[in-house]
Amino acid sequence: MHLFFTPNREFEKMKQYKVGLVGIGAVGTEMIKVLRQRQFPASEIRVLATRERDEVIAGETFHVLETKPESFEGLDIVLFAGTEGSKGASKMWGKVATDKGAFVIDNGDDFRMHDDVPLVIPEINADDMEAMIRKGSRFIANPNCSTIITLMGIAALHRVNPLRHMTAVTFQSVSGAGRAAIEELGTQMKQVANGEATEPKAFAHQIVANVIPQIGGPKPEMPGFTTEEAKLTFESRKILGAPNLRIACTCVRVPVFYAHSIAVHATFERPFTVEEVREIIRKAPGVELVDDLPSAVYPMPKDFGGKDNVGIGRIRIDPSEENGIALWCSGDNIRKGAALNAVQIAEELIKRELV
């Protein structure tokens, strides 16, 4: 269950927290939007980057500070907002922040699979996070965007009927690769419309009017699979508490600006009916049932970009597997897949009186 802070007079009475934000790309900008929209009780949002300057972020002017050890003094919570796949910021500054007394919530992938770091989707495993924090952990990892969107519906089913196997094919928007990728798609749309040649830079191939069946580099420990596919595999096992779960996935980049979609085929310990699945999804926090095939109603990126919830639809029996269910999900990778999930973790820290 995630926490919505009450506005106006009740909000003003809440304890206030000093929040740090490291990185101001697409995810960092969205984090500030989410903090403001949810009226997070922040007495200060201190933005840190590689150099000091004034920067307009989400309509506000912030005096950005150069990241130094002293920059973390007095902070209660620090959000590391690196674009998926970026390295170094939390490795360099995460321990500095925790040593200064802050809780770190890291959007990068450097620490996700560390045994002493909780990997958290608040609607799914906030209790696991609390248990680890009470044992002394102050570092929390945000999962990969495709992992979050995939598991929002699947985890609700798993709680009722244990998951045994999952196959996923992702359709991931370009915003997952950062601002340069967003700009490249826009540029290439104009170039192709005008009959001009494209010059791929953010991706290995032209992205407009194309799909690229590779996200990340080869994963040596998983021959034939990519690093993105490995993340979805190993992160799902950790979050669901199912270390032996059988998973196979293919991650694909598509010419969409915002919101990832995933086609999931899952098998469970016992059979489900379609209506049972729909009823579980209807009641699950953070998801929205959008499932009426005869009326051409299902979740699509154009409808879920900018939304907090993940849409679930195309629910059907998978006849190729015993106890199989197929479904389709779509959700904003920058919002729920990154910024919102991180802020929800911070809210859980407050709600559970951990910070």
Q: Where are the domains of the chain?
A: 8-143+338-351, 146-333
Tell me the CA distances in angstroms from 169 to 112, 176, 279, 329, 355, one per residue in order: 22, 16, 24, 11, 38
CA atoms within 13 A on the CB side of 36: 11
Summarised one tens digit per residue, pLDDT across range 7-46 is: 434 445 679 999 999 998 899 999 999 999 999 999 999 9
Identical fold at 8-143+338-351 and 146-333? Answer: no
Which class for 96: exposed (0-12), middle (13-18), buried (19 or more C-beta within 10 A)? middle
122-134 and 340-351 helices, crossing angle to 10°? 50
Q: Which helix (H) or strand (E) holds 106?
A: strand 103-106
Residue 337 CA to residue 146 CA, distance in Å, equals: 7
Q: Active-site residue among 145, 249, 251, 329?
A: 145
260 is catalytic: yes
Which of the 8 DSSP states describes residue 294? G
The answer to whether residues 161 and 270 touch, using CB atoms and an 8 Å cutoff, is yes
Q: Return the pLDDT at 51.
A: 93
Q: Active-site residue among 2, 158, 249, 260?
A: 260
Neighbours of 221 (CB within 10 A): 8
Residues of the chain with pLDDT under 50: 1-11, 84-86
165 is catalytic: no
Residue 202 CA to residue 250 CA, distance in Å, equals: 20
Class of 8-143+338-351 in CATH: alpha beta
Q: Return the pLDDT at 333.
A: 98
Residue 92 CA to residue 138 CA, distance in Å, equals: 16
Q: Return the pLDDT at 8.
A: 39
Residue 42: which of 53, 52, 31, 51 has the closest Cα?
31
What torsion do the CA atoms of 125, 105, 90, 204 make, to the nearest 10 degrees? 70
Helical ranges in 66-207 per DSSP H: 89-99, 122-134, 145-160, 179-193
Q: Return the pLDDT at 3.
A: 36
What torsion do the CA atoms of 247, 262, 177, 67 make, to the nearest 10 degrees? -70
- Strand order of the sheet with strand 287-289? 246-253, 163-172, 260-268, 324-331, 310-318, 287-289
The residue count of the chain comes to 355
Summarised one tens digit per residue, pLDDT across range 292-303 is: 999 999 999 999
Q: 146-333: CATH homologous superfamily? A: Dihydrodipicolinate Reductase; domain 2 (3.30.360.10)
Q: What does pTM read for this prediction?
A: 0.94
Opening angle at CA 219, ends 214 and 221, nearest 5: 150
